[in-house]
Amino acid sequence: MTTIATALAGVPIFRDLNKKALERVEKLARERSYGAGDVIVKEGDEGVGFFLITSGKVAVTKDGHDLNTLRAGDFFGEMALLDNYRRSATVKALEPTECLAMLRSDFIAELRANADLAIEMLQLMSRRVRDADARLTHD
């Protein structure tokens, strides 16, 4: 497995994909570079994609308040692959940062073109909903 596929396999929505499906998803990822102070996504903007940080550090803020700091291996925007809701927070590079970015439009096109991948993603989402539901009913 390539480094990109290995990194993507660490993201919950891709973790349980089989090797072939993960290779399809890997082809959608594009490297993006951001300088210190660059806004990667802005609160309120349309969610157009997913980002996996490969190096650097970013700040996550909401309504001007610091929420979190993310580093290499962390990710954000994964649900934007499945819906186009507005961004709930701003993410800004605190230092030079490299990301793998995946656009929702590319991801949806891949799901439309590859029914096997779409079915895998549906099964994965179903398992995640069942797991979340089970946690709620046991708490």
Task: Please classify residue 26 by burial: count the beta carbons closer than 10 Å to its beta carbon, then call 0-12 exposed, 13-18 middle and 19+ buried.
Answer: buried
Which pLDDT does position 138 carry in this prediction?
67
For residue 112, give Cα distances in angstroms to 14, 60, 72, 127, 133: 17, 32, 31, 21, 28
C-alpha distance from residue 88 to each of 4, 41, 60, 111 (Å): 26, 10, 10, 25
Q: State how beta strands 75-76 and 49-55 pair.
A: antiparallel
Which parts of the chain register pLDDT below 50? none
Q: Which residue has the tokens 């349980």?
A: 16
Domain 3-138 grouped into CATH 2.60.120.10: yes
